[in-house]
């Protein structure tokens, strides 16, 4: 799991069936100071997060289990909106 800031959204009219109806967001992984730590990636949103919010992101099987779809194409899922953080 890692913390990230949502920087955008992704619109896709053609996609793998398991992604149908899923909100796709661009997330920028950050450290405990809110500084960028690596490249942006796309994650499925399970909590209704918006652009500019800090979130927690799960990967792999943990991400797929959020949507109860163990065989889906989902690799990253937004699982929480961060209210605050400090080091």
* CATH number of the domain within which 72 lies: 2.40.50.220
Residue 77 pLDDT: 98
Q: Is residue 28 part of a domain?
A: yes
Range of the domain at 21: 2-81
Q: Is residue 87 part of a domain?
A: no
Bridge pairing between strands 76-81 and 41-45: parallel
Strand partners, 45: 23, 78
Q: Is residue 86 part of a domain?
A: no
Q: Is residue 42 part of a domain?
A: yes
Residue 70 pLDDT: 87
Phi, psi of 30 (to 5 degrees): -135, 160
Going residue by residue through the chain, which has 87 residues, state the pLDDT in tens, using 9 for 90 and above: 999 999 999 999 999 999 999 999 999 999 999 999 999 999 999 999 999 999 999 999 999 999 998 889 999 999 999 999 987
């Amino acid at each position: 799991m890692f913390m990230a800031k949502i920087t955008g959204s992704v619109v896709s009219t053609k996609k793998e069936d398991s992604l149908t109806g899923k909100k796709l967001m661009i997330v920028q992984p950050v450290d405990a100071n809110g500084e960028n730590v690596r490249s942006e990636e796309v994650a499925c949103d399970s909590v209704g997060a918006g652009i500019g919010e800090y979130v927690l992101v799960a990967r792999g099987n943990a991400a797929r289990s959020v949507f109860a779809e163990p065989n889906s194409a989902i690799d990253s899922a937004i699982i929480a909106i961060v209210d605050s953080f400090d080091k």
